[in-house]
Amino acid sequence: MTFDVLAAAAMADELRNTLLHGRVQEVLLPEPMGIGLEIYAGGRRHYLYATANAQEARVQLAGDRLRRGPDRPSPLLLLLRKHVLGGRLVEVEQPGRERVLRLAIQAAELVCLYIEAMGRHSNIILVDFQGQVLGAVKRVGAQLSRRVILPGQPYTPPPPQGKTSYASLSPGRLAELMAEQGDGPAWKALVAHILGVSPLLAREVIYRVSGDPNAADAAPGAVLAELDKLLGLVEAGGWQSGVAVEGGRAVAYSPYPLTHYPYWEMTETLSEAMTLYYSQRREIEGYAEARAAVQELVDAGRARLRRQREALEQELGAAADRESLVQRGQLILAYSAQIAPGQRELAVDLGEAEPLRIPLDAQLTPAENAQALFREYDKAKAAAARVPPLLEDLAAKEATLDQLEADLLLADNRAEIDQARAELVEAGYGRSIHRGERSDHAQARRPSPKGRPAVGRPRRYRTRDGFRVWVGRNSRQNEALTFDQAKPDDLWLHARGVPGSHVLLVSEGRQVPPRAIQEAAELAAHFSRARQDAQVDVSYAAQRFVHRLPGGGPGMVTLRRESVVRVAPRDWGEEEEVHHRDTEDTEAKPG
């Protein structure tokens, strides 16, 4: 574990610089031992993740939107939604030289969230303004510890470790402590006796002094000087975050260079370094396995459609040569008198460099050989008329599959992943979810052929000019948004040429300025398969010029009188989405 005192101090600074005075817009549970907060600060959304998992205890800013994990909310999650949602982060502190952060959040009342990243003693504790525990990830009774962590009990900080501050040590006293360690590596003495020194920090200090992180001895004065330099960062700042790399993998992170590793890779923030390190162990997102399983259905469906297209194109290619079948049949009849019984080929001189060679079935008469070619011609002629519509239908199926894959890409939670799977099953790709398999919604288990609603409400935003913007979450919701909810004069937007969300800019009879169109187009680009591109073309038109694609799946449309704007993908949403968000509170409540 590398989330030590210095990492906690650096993270406190990072959170203060990034999140202070931001509003908590969402609270979720990415995993049983962790929490996530979406905080809008500095004009954008940030995602704070904290876990009390003993092996990975930490707090950091996540690079991507966090995903919901457990199906049912924990008591702590319900308390956080009650006391923290909508509040502002007013203070971030590191009490003492400990691996603890205190986040003060002002909502209806001031509450404090204590994140204690202390190995097997790690915890996340919500405390009211009177210092009483409201809830915790881990409840600890008197039978387990003298430090009780239960609702209604006063919050007490972790007990002191009984170690010495490096600032109070003299070189002589440090030499005595190191001597007490015996013949073992010197870094163990630093960990055992000095407050705030982790194994990682201790090895780094010993390496800087002696050139060997596992050296049995090191000059005490030089050791204290290095400790002052590194532990002094808590007050002085000047963090230099990054990861140590061995064998192409991040093996440690810290807010200062780790020189005892052969390669050090700098990062802009400590959170970025932590993401690099922990992503190699497991993803913060709890739904990677479920998403991968649905992606397998998409890939299998795409392979099936590809085989069908290849067969149809092969059939159509053969049909394109059908006129030569008639010619060869007519030549067999014209030269039938010259064809001997049992002859296997007819060579006809047509004035070309090489004669035309027509294979014959030796068991058939010339007339029967000619009739076989005429029947093949009739079959090819029928194929020429039959295959193009089938190819058009196949193209519509491929477009529908592309959209369903985009639904999966844009899914924010397990319910939406399950719905993407249900849509694939309904479209004929894969099997339904059987009893015992996990699904957040009964409607995802048993899809009805018609009228099945999409999970949740559309994402909702408001532009700087006050226009409401709605963003569909999946193909079903796109369909309802565009053809059931929109008014004829509302503006419809969609990333051009790629699957993605339908975006509706509600005009309410007003003239829509270019700035509002630009902002809505940024959302359309972000919620599409082109979201990683630097620039994306976005089509827009009045809703009255948007029509269902004949034979297409849900949300498949054709467009007239379109305009195009090029934008950078961006999710700029703020509090409008909170007020109208399809929160899963009502869906997830027990009973």
- Half-sphere exposure for 370 (CA within 13 Å, toward CB): 13
Q: What is the CATH number of the domain that holds 72?
A: 2.30.310.10
Residue 413 lies in a domain: no
Judgement on whether residues 552 and 464 belong to the same structural domain of the protein: yes
Give Cβ neighbours of residue 1 (< 8 Å, ≥ 6 apart).
Answer: 55, 56, 57, 119
What is the pLDDT, as a whole number, of residue 70? 60
Judgement on whether residues 223 and 295 belong to the same structural domain of the protein: no
Helix (H, G, I), strand (E, B) or coil at 162: coil
Residue 152 lies in a domain: no
Structural domains of the chain, count: 4
Q: What is the CATH number of the domain that holds 368?
A: 1.10.287
d(CA 57, CA 278) in angstroms, rounded, equals 11
Residue 155 lies in a domain: no
Judgement on whether residues 26 and 123 belong to the same structural domain of the protein: yes
Judgement on whether residues 44 and 108 belong to the same structural domain of the protein: yes
Question: Among 92, 121, 136, which residue terminates a domain?
Answer: 136
Cβ(469)–Cβ(463) under 8 Å?
yes
Judgement on whether residues 272 and 303 belong to the same structural domain of the protein: no
Question: Among 223, 253, 279, which residue terminates a domain?
Answer: 279
Judgement on whether residues 271 and 294 belong to the same structural domain of the protein: no
- Domain span at residue 302? 289-408
Residue 431 lies in a domain: no
Which residues partner with 500 through β-bridges? 528
CB atoms within 10 A of CB 493: 28
As given in the structure block, the two tokens for residue 487 are: 């008014």
For the chain, the helix, strand and coil percentages under 3-state DSSP, each to the nearest 5 = 40, 20, 40
Residue 154 lies in a domain: no
Judgement on whether residues 257 and 311 belong to the same structural domain of the protein: no
Residue 150 lies in a domain: no
Question: Among 254, 279, 304, which residue terminates a domain?
Answer: 279
Helix (H, G, I), strand (E, B) or coil at 171: helix
Q: DSSP code of 325? A: H
Measured in whole angstroms, the distance separating CA 251 from the mean position of its chain's CA atoms is 24
Judgement on whether residues 258 and 303 belong to the same structural domain of the protein: no
CA nearest to 82, candidates 137, 30, 134, 34: 134
Judgement on whether residues 225 and 311 belong to the same structural domain of the protein: no
Residue 439 lies in a domain: no
Judgement on whether residues 264 and 346 belong to the same structural domain of the protein: no
Judgement on whether residues 310 and 251 belong to the same structural domain of the protein: no
CA nearest to 492, candidates 505, 509, 481, 479: 505
Residue in this structure with the two tokens 């004929």, named with its chain if needed: 428
490, amino acid identity: D
Residue 534 lies in a domain: yes
Judgement on whether residues 270 and 319 belong to the same structural domain of the protein: no
Q: Could you read off the pLDDT tens digit of each residue along the chain, which spans 591 residues? A: 579 999 999 999 999 999 999 999 999 888 888 899 999 999 999 999 999 987 789 999 997 777 766 656 788 889 999 999 999 999 999 998 789 999 999 999 999 999 999 887 899 999 999 999 999 999 888 877 889 999 999 999 998 888 898 889 999 999 998 888 777 789 999 998 999 999 999 999 999 999 999 898 899 999 999 999 999 998 888 999 999 988 667 889 999 999 999 889 899 999 999 988 887 655 444 566 777 788 888 888 888 888 888 888 777 766 556 667 777 888 888 888 888 888 888 888 887 888 888 888 888 998 988 888 888 888 877 777 777 888 877 777 887 888 888 888 777 667 778 888 888 888 787 765 443 344 333 333 333 334 444 446 788 888 888 899 999 988 888 988 999 888 999 999 999 988 899 999 999 889 999 999 999 999 999 898 888 777 889 999 999 999 988 777 787 888 888 999 999 888 765 434 333 333 333 222 322
